[in-house]
Structure 1
């Protein structure tokens, strides 16, 4: 029984030891002040001290500064590394455990030194270095611009328990897995304290896994990530071989240049004015010109305004109302596809190819433009104006709270300017969820209200889209042609007669006759003249006839009143004129003049004038 208890205790001790070995818990961080233009010696461990754990075979040393470059190197070593986030590896039994930190700047610099101890079976970060300056380079490199971050690292190698020489890189890479993690700092907090806190957190494997965001699994030495201005982020890579893991030295970027941190996040971003014209102009300007951002904004606004006016002029000239829905559909399709690519779907390998990316983006915009008008053009107008308009309203607030929704469009602009495959790594936090919900609610509210108003709100509306000028102009022309066919006289001749008045020619006698003076009409509406004279029973109102009638049936009869020629008459030129005969005793006109059949093929009631 006692032997059983002893064995259990031994097993528990061994398990705890291996847990410590596997997780590399022996780590520490120190903040040092390096005087200007001096070199400071830092002792990571004492190689002569017997208290150094025997299972520790190598130690990674990370050196970080907030704004200034520092140089890190080993004693008696000609090679060094300079930067804000650098590091090296010390092998116990080989290296002395001392490192030199040189400050080449004219000011004192605070430096954060983070050490992490590992067992022999842990992957050695950067152990297969071919491009970096050190033989073992455990640090990362980050090349940043306004649009992208290019993250580079060197492959890790696997050590051995029998000797300190690591296994050849060709044999070890198949057993090592690389995972890239990111951790976003607090928005707007560019202090050194926050900077060091985030680096310390991203230097420990357990903290990286728990609090960092896993961005991707990779085997490539270079990865492109979208840059987010004013959103400081810490990148790190964990190399895993079986159950053993090692973390590289993390690197930080503010995506606006660390030399101007105090101005970070205050750069004004282009706000959508005229969406389509401005967006296209902006893409062309940043792609093919060397103008600064202020000039691009000015030219973008001017070009967008001009294109909007040109588009309106084309629509007015061509008299094709459906053309107005082309830009509406393209805007909606583009925004929906950009939103889809903003999710993890955009990180698929399919979209890392430029041809696939732009082909799918274009097809989505075109399909929306073609599909919606065939179903219901009203729905396209309502849905597009609601979704796009709500998005513009939301990003106006999103930009100033350091949200992520504005990058739905900005990521596409970056991809257009730089034809590189990049991964979306922006965090989706609580405030982003709130803004997304607000966007959704605004869109749904706009759709419901507009659809209700366009169908049942107010008076009934005609087909959409419509051109009031074209509709009334063509309708008047058709009525005039109808009455010219029904009249016994041809249109008035512009040539004056000998008496100075207008003349007309009868369709029957083909003779030219003077046009009677309207003032000679009697109160009954008939011409007061001698019998036998040919009388034009059309009043002047027939040249601009009207009819009234409302029905939702297929065919309805509308009453036409051609006899109210007196301006003082209450029915002159108004749709409220009573049907004939009225109280004045007028005789109803011939049937040919009295009724017009109107066909309603819209399936709903319309009021016609």
Structure 2
């Protein structure tokens, strides 16, 4: 009896050492006791770090298994570098999975031996291993897999593209033969990591928070359904902002019976280096971004004062967006070439709108384009922060009709007061242009207010994507800077333009007066008739001009 207690005490001490101290492994083995109690909110029996050297493997054996359990989910997580997980199942042969977030299912009678392998040469990998235990009636995560080579696939398949992310999961099973896959529900959850933070400790902290049901409900956001199958979610990509994904499977007849899939992650980009995701990867984008900051400040505080310059930039911004969308729809070109073509077209559009003011000089019509730009910005904000995922907006006709309606209503609401409307458009759009440039350098996500609309227009199937934008302290800070800049710009322009006409006269109507000839021998007003020189009618005697040399009696 005393020896048995001593062995259990020793195993408990070893498990604590494994949890709090990473184990450096070089083709070694670890024995883990599985006698810890589990709760409804937390099914984790064991969790701890191991450190694996390059080209090494660790064998994990289990002892003292809780007899109330029916199956376990063993999972291993690494940061950026792939690892492999093997097990030898006597009934189904060897199974293996490779990736950064892998897991396998094993029954407890008999229980399998797992092998974690690091195939990276000269790269030391820190791995978090975890074991979760479940009862007989709990659904088996990924038990009805029909696509992947592993019969039971409890981990997620996260595919990251430039504009969107796919999160796929195999259906859970509630019966051995998967005869009825409708007896279990799948709920997808996600949790954002701090923006532009690629540290391993932050990543592992996020992974561990999305393992237990209690923390998933506390920190996670439930991803709504779309018209994709129930086993897939499509999300808008936000490069540089990491996100942890997981799935909770529950039985239809008893929601208290559940299982949690192996969580996975994505940073919104495929090329991750030591500094994370490269946000601006070409020189033209960097140049335009730096220029946009100064142009935005100028428009925000001096746009109405330099009205013709504002007209040019209003046409320029409109032309860039329209041309970018049209070229992206027609053909596939590199991003620098697309930006260059859109910029050249923007200069052309800006010249046309400036010429429109020069020819006609109608303030209401000239302010219409800046008002439409403001309406486009407000409609983009509405789409960006739209709560949930509205299925009726997946239809392009419904979405673009509502989008155009918001744009037109905004323009009609503000254009009736042309003077104040133009100052408001300058302040809001100019401040957003400045914040947009700062947003790129700080790594926040306000730029996706416009990018998501462009994606909706040019990216196939983006109508099914869930936006779910992150809201970090950087986003809140940039939004406050935007509001403050716009307010300062609006009041400054009102003060700066006091006492001046609401709008400057158009250039075409301002004609400089021609000076009378003063050269020797020139005859002033030679071609004018006397009545034209004096402004009097025909037959009216012309009065002589009185000077200091005119006789008093003449």
> Is the shorter-chain TM-score for this pair beyond 0.5, marking a shared fold?
yes
Contact preservation (8 Å) 1:321, 1:466: no
**Relative contact order, higher structure (CA 8 A, sep 6+):** 2
Q: How much has 1:337 moved relative to structure 2?
A: 0.9
Q: 1:287 to 1:85 in 2, by over 3 A?
A: farther
TM-score of the aligned structures, taking structure 1 as reference length: 0.67
Counterpart position of 2:47: 29
Q: Secondary structure at the match of 1:185?
A: strand
In structure 1, the residue matched to 2:79 is: 66
1:195-249 deviations in whole A, cap 9, x for unaligned? Answer: 3232222222222222233333677222110111111111112223312332111
Contact 1:23-1:244 at 8 Å conserved across structures:
no
Within 5 A, what are the aligned runs for 1:488-503? Answer: 502=527
Number of residue pairs the alignment of both structures matches: 463
Q: Confirm or deny: 8 A CA contact 1:88 1:136 kept in the other structure.
A: yes
Aligned partners of 1:21 and 1:119 also within 8 Å = no
1:396 to 414, 437, 452: 437
What is the Cα deviation at residue 31 of structure 1?
A: 2.9
* 2:83 paired with 1:41: no
1:166 Cα deviation after fit: 7.0
| Cα gap change, 1:470 to 1:22, in 2 (>3 Å) | same
Q: 1:170 to 1:315 in 2, by over 3 A?
A: same
Q: Where does structure 2 lack aligned partners over 5 or more consecutive residues?
A: 1-34, 296-315, 514-524
1:202 aligned residue: 210
Q: 1:206 to 1:293 in 2, by over 3 A?
A: same
Match of 1:418 among 456, 459, 471: 459
Q: TM-score, normalised by structure 2?
A: 0.73
Deviation at 1:423, TM superposition (A): 1.1
8 Å CA contact 1:329–1:368 kept in 2: the answer is yes
Q: CA contact under 8 A between 2:358 and 2:506: conserved in structure 1?
A: no
Residue 115 of structure 1 and its aligned partner are, at CA, apart by: 1.9
Please identify the structure whose Cα radius of gyration is greater: 1
2:173 equivalent in structure 1:
157
Q: Pick from 123, 131, 135 the counterpart of residue 115 of structure 1.
A: 131
Q: Which residue of 2 aligns with 1:227?
A: 237
In structure 2, the residue matched to 1:82 is 98
Distance 1:517 1:450 in 2: 45
Compute the displacement of 1:101 (Å).
Answer: 2.8
Q: Does 1:333 align with 2:375?
A: yes
**3-state DSSP of counterpart to 1:216:** coil
Distance 1:285 1:261 in 2: 34
1:135 and 2:129 correspond: no
Say whether the 8 Å CA contact 1:31–1:112 is kept in structure 2: yes
Pick closer, same or farther for the CA change 1:264–1:292 going to 2, 3 Å: same
Q: Distance in 2 between matches of 1:409 and 1:526?
A: 60
What is aligned with 1:12?
none
Q: In the aligned structure 1, how far is the partner of 2:468 from the partner of 2:158?
A: 15
Aligned to 1:408: 449
Q: Structure 1: any 5+ residue segments left out of the alignment?
A: 1-16, 160-164, 477-499, 505-514, 519-524, 528-533, 540-562, 570-583, 586-609
User: How far is the alpha carbon of 1:130 from its aligned partner?
Assistant: 1.5
Query: Contact conserved, 1:142 with 1:152, CA < 8 A, in 2?
Result: yes
CA shift for structure 1 position 147:
1.0
1:187 aligns with 2:195: yes
Contact 1:63 1:72 in 2 (8 A): yes
What's 1:497 paired with? Answer: none
| Alpha-carbon distance between aligned partners in 1 of 2:39 and 2:527, rounded to the nearest angstrom | 113
Q: How far has the Cα of 1:449 moved from its partner?
A: 4.9
Give the match for residue 310 of structure 1.
352
Equivalents in 1 of 2:367, 2:532: separation in Å? 51
Alpha-carbon distance in structure 1 between the residues aligned to 2:388 and 2:49: 40
**Contact map agreement 1:129 1:136 (CA 8 A) in 2:** yes
C-alpha contact 2:142 2:172 (8 A) present in aligned 1? yes
State the distance in 1 between where 2:528 and 2:106 align. Answer: 113
Residues 125, 154 of structure 1: 8 Å contact kept: yes
CA distance in 1, matches of 2:279, 2:485: 28
Residue 526 and residue 380 in structure 1: after superposition, are their counterparts in 2 closer, same or farther (change >3 A)? closer
Say whether residues 1:347 and 2:389 are aligned partners. yes
CA distance in 2, matches of 1:412, 1:309: 26
**Distance of aligned partners of 1:294 and 1:538 in 2 relative to their CA distance in 1, 3 Å threshold:** farther
Q: Give the Å deviation of 1:284.
A: 3.2
Task: Calculate the aligned-residue CA RMSD, in Å.
Answer: 3.6
Shift of the alpha carbon at 1:30? Answer: 3.1
Instruction: For 1:70 and 1:119, locate their aligned partners in 2 and report how far apart those are by CA, in whole Å.
Output: 29
Give, in whole Å, the separation in 1 of the partners of 2:532 and 2:338: 67
Change (3 A) 1:352 1:61: farther
In the TM superposition, residue 138 of structure 1 has moved relative to its aligned partner by 0.9
* Residue equivalent to 2:120: 105
Residue number in structure 2 paired with 1:386: 427
Deviates more, 1:264-273 or 1:403-412: 264-273
Tell me how far apart the structure 1 counterparts of residues 419 and 532 of structure 2 sit (CA, whole Å): 50
- Give yes or no for the alignment of 1:296 onto 2:338: yes
Which of these residues, 409, 417, 422, is aligned with residue 367 of structure 1? 409
- What is residue 169 of structure 1 aligned with on the other side? 180
Query: What CA distance in whole angstroms lies between the structure 2 residues aligned with 1:208 and 1:346?
Result: 18
Counterpart Cα distance in 1 of 2:83 and 2:55: 10
Distance 1:378 1:53 in 2: 76
Distance 1:440 1:208, change over 3 A: same
Deviation at 1:98, TM superposition (A): 0.9
CA shift for structure 1 position 33: 4.0
For the residues of structure 2 that align with 1:238 and 1:517, how far apart are their CA atoms? 93
